[in-house]
A and B are shown apart, each in its own frame.
Chain A
Amino acid sequence: MLAQQYAAIKRDLDEKGIVFSFSGYLSEGILYSLGEALREKMTLEETDAPTVRRVFAVFVEQMQNIIRYSAEKVTGATTRAIELSAGMVTIGMEQNKVFIVCGNTVHNADVPRLRERLDHLRSLDREGIKTYYREQLREEPEDGSRGATIGLIDIARRASEPIDYDFDVMDAERSFFCLKVRI
């Protein structure tokens, strides 16, 4: 029964082309370890260096978004050093392209603004994304954003297709947010 249950989860991941997945509390320490494992694995598989860098860069931005903005987190009273945030990250292959999907809980109140940013990014072509990046590089971060805008632009820039996103309403307070990036 036990093996059967987990084999079913594993099979489901395999069928979706997922080679790597993590769900639970994420921290900067976990980001670092998973990131190293991801790079080592891709390098062993002789993935070309620019692709390894792009996947890694998108992975870091997505993970840091979860760590900073997940609506489900445990923090120390005085420091950010022990920020633990719930979320999930999966990396897989689909039609010969690497994809990264991240998911985390967000407050419903933040959804419209996030949606607006993502729709704006999706509407831009490569040159538009580049110009937007240059502008944001010179802007002061918005209040409470801790640099989220430039992080999303950086992700869009390294993606080979427009980024995909979706929200699933959980209750009156929260939604589950997903972001899929193809490299």
Chain B
Amino acid sequence: MDSLNIPATGRTPGVTFDFAAGHLRLHGESYPDDVATFFGPIFTALRAYLAEPDDRPIRFDMELLYFNSSSAKVLMNIFQMLEAVAKLGRPVSVSWCYEENDESMRELGEDFSEDLRYVAFSLRDVPSGAIG
């Protein structure tokens, strides 16, 4: 399946989904003017990728510096999709990056990971300015 690459803009995240390598990454900031329009094609691609019979590991790097509440709902959906394939036995790891002084982002990571049972979730603090 082809990779999905969307460059970051001031208010939409950069998307690098390298499906062949099983490596998915979101970075930058997310507060699109229309969440459904921006994330629609991303969901379509992700759903198709996860529906393929494949048990190779998936690594998801969550490197957003900021996301608004409508993006939060979308991220939660992505996590639930990953949890569903992990439950069926596919190894999935999620790395939630936050800048070391960003308490809000760390707490959000805890909120999102709360009901992940099969996805291997890790919180990773990085120096200020290291992500984005």
Tell whether B72 is near chain A: CB-to-CB under 8 Å.
yes
Q: Which of B93-132 contact A (CB under 8 A)?
A: 99, 101-104, 107, 111-112, 114-115, 128
B90 to chain A, nearest CB (A): 22
Given the complex, which residues of A lie within 8 Å of B102, measured CB to CB? 49-50, 53
A154 to chain B, nearest CB (A): 4
Tell whether B44 is near chain A: CB-to-CB under 8 Å.
no
Determine whether the beta carbon of A53 is less than 8 Å from that of B73.
no
Q: Which of A57, A81, A130, A133 contacts B68 (CB 8 A)?
A: A57
Tell whether A158 is near chain B: CB-to-CB under 8 Å.
yes
Supposing A32-B10, A137-B111, A138-B76 touch, asked if A151 and B69 sit within 8 A by C-beta, the answer is yes
Instruction: Tell me the interface secondary structure of chain B in the complex.
Output: mixed
Determine whether the beta carbon of A57 is less than 8 Å from that of B70.
no
Tell whether A28 is near chain B: CB-to-CB under 8 Å.
yes
Given the complex, which residues of A lie within 8 Å of B73, measured CB to CB? 137, 141, 147, 150
Given the complex, which residues of A lie within 8 Å of B49, measured CB to CB? none
Q: Which of A31, A49, A50, A147 contacts B70 (CB 8 A)?
A: A147
A156 to chain B, nearest CB (A): 11
Query: What is the total number of residues of chain B having a CB less than 8 Å from a CB of chain A?
Result: 24
C-alpha gap A61/B68 in the complex (Å): 7
Given the complex, which residues of B lie within 8 Å of A50, measured CB to CB? 101-104
Tell whether A115 is near chain B: CB-to-CB under 8 Å.
no
A81 to chain B, nearest CB (A): 7
C-alpha gap A43/B112 in the complex (Å): 29
By size class, the interface of chain A is 20 to 34
**Chain B, residue nearest A151 (CB):** B69
Tell whether A73 is near chain B: CB-to-CB under 8 Å.
no
**Chain A, residue nearest B33 (CB):** A28
Interface residues of A (CB under 8 A from B): 28-29, 31-32, 36, 48-50, 53-54, 56-57, 60-61, 64, 80-81, 130, 133-134, 137-138, 141, 146-147, 150-151, 153-154, 157-158
Interface residues of B (CB under 8 A from A): 10-11, 31, 33-34, 65-66, 68-70, 72-73, 76, 99, 101-104, 107, 111-112, 114-115, 128
